[in-house]
Chains A and B, each alone.
Chain A
Amino acid sequence: MTKSLKILAVCGMGIGTSMLLKLQLDKVIKKLGIDANVDLADISTARGLAVNADLIVTSNELIDRIGDVTAPIVAVANFMDLNALTESVRSALKLNK
């Protein structure tokens, strides 16, 4: 792997729920054995930051607010379901099992 992937965890203010997402995503990254960093963002700034991101993870109801971005978006309904999140990230990043 040459460069580490950039993942953006997005929520309303970028300090609460996105932090939970980051904690979960850090576990997912370890599980998948990939080289990636997770940054936090609020929805107002996410669109701009998304340009440099390889993956965006946010909660279900915020997807519409992020708008058109090139990076794939993963929507999370149940924040504690680590297996579902791992599978969503795996398929969004097109990783092999």
Chain B
Amino acid sequence: MSAVIKVLVDFLSVPALLVGLTAFAGYLALKDKNFSDALAGGIKATIGFLILGAGAGTLIGSLDILGPMIEQAFNVQGVIPNNEAIVAIAVGEVGQAAALIMVLGFIFNILFARFTPFKYIWLTGHHSLYMATLLAVTFSVIGLNGVVLWLVGGIVLGFLQVILPKWTQHLATKVSGNDDWTIGHFSSLSYVVAGWAAKVTGGDPEKTSAEDMDFPKGLGFLRESLVATGLIMLIIFLVPAFFLPGADRAALGGGTNWFVFLLIQALTFSAGVAVVIYGVRVILAEIVPAFSGIAEKLVPDAKPALDIPVVFPFGANSVIIGFLSSFVAGVVMMLIMGPIGLAAIVPGLVPHFFVGGGAGVIGNAFGGRRGAIIGGFVNGIIISLGAALLLPAMGSLGLENATYGDADFQWVGILISLIGRLFGG
């Protein structure tokens, strides 16, 4: 008998199998899916989770070259804010808790939507996974473990998934003109501050809309995150290399020319991110439809909380303005933060593009083109500071050269760390 229990315990303590089992159960709970669909879904979700680990290995290989190089060149810890990188690395340590928190978070989201006035269903599954991982990391750092960790994490995740959409509802309503849906993206702090700052300091949104301008379309390639990440990583690898002593630089690649070596390292980082995203896609394709189907049956009157690019059609120019402005703020912050003793947060392209772009659209809705610039800029400041302040909250994972890129991951992690210090000493 104990042998059977041992197998069960071992099975459930493997996060990949746990996620697979959840997907399997979710499929069975939906009436129109049969057993073979459910089994295939479970296996696919399991494989998706295993793919995350493969991507993490690739990313760590690339970061282990970049980190020491920045350290030696500038004498600061250089950190890349990239959600996919830190999540893939973290699930290697807290995968079981992360998987359980994600599942419990979905359940509590439905319960809160059913029984509280916050009637929202969070459909941005990759952010649920990333937040679940952050909660698993930060709550374990302050000493929670086992069932308490899973339950507290799940309740907090479910609560964030209804309260933050409520917080951003006025922004979505202003941008789109109706309130059928809202934003479900863990950058709410950036969006709310961007909207407020644009309203206070921006121009007239009707008369000075950024959308009335002629704007170059040449930056569209930034939407291709694979290309954009590779390019920006090349710059990030090359700059510190220039500040190394010549002999050290020449020795970087061993027998290979240092430039060719760094080029391959930069593109390898992008390859690692692509692998992680593929894994996330495989997991979510099995889990989100099941979650959404169950939620629609149980809480038919809830509003969906959606990924940020749903606001992009309301401001194509504002997306680009917000991105550029956010990125400039990120560069300025990087230069300021090293000297004042914080980690140097290298501007990550993905959060600056998606969140800066979203903040630009929101800023434009509240304050015209000046609002779009201001909206993007405040996002750049918030996510750079947040990324640096989050590092100590993540324990040993804070020493990795990657961290979370979006504001809500950052403030939630920092808050949990502060609460831990208040009660734990």
Contacts and interface: CB of A to CB of B under 8 A. Distances in A.
Interface of A: 11-17, 19-20, 22-23, 26, 39-40, 42-44, 59-62, 64-65, 77-80
Contacts of A61: 220, 223, 312-313, 316, 319
A44 B313 contact: no
B180 A42 contact: no
Interface string B200-230: 0000000000000000010011011111000
Nearest to A61: B316
B281 interface: yes
A8 to B, nearest CB: 13
A12 B394 CA distance: 29
18 contacts: A12-B225, A12-B354, A13-B350, A15-B126, A15-B277, A19-B123, A19-B125, A19-B307, A20-B304, A20-B310, A59-B310, A61-B319, A64-B217, A64-B220, A65-B224, A79-B181, A79-B310, A80-B180
Q: Give chain B's interface secondary structure class.
A: helix
B289 interface: yes
Interface string B223-256: 1111100000000000000000000000000000
A23 to B, nearest CB: 5
B310 A17 contact: yes
A31 B100 CA distance: 34
Contact of A23 (B227, B281, B289): B289
A15 B129 CA distance: 12
Contacts of A13: 225, 277, 350
A39 B278 CA distance: 12
A77 B309 contact: no
Given A12-B354, A79-B306, 6 more contacts: A16-B309, A17-B306, A19-B288, A20-B304, A42-B277, A44-B225
B99 interface: no
A12 B250 CA distance: 37
Nearest to A11: B309
Contacts of B288: 19, 23
B224 to A, nearest CB: 5
A19 B277 contact: no
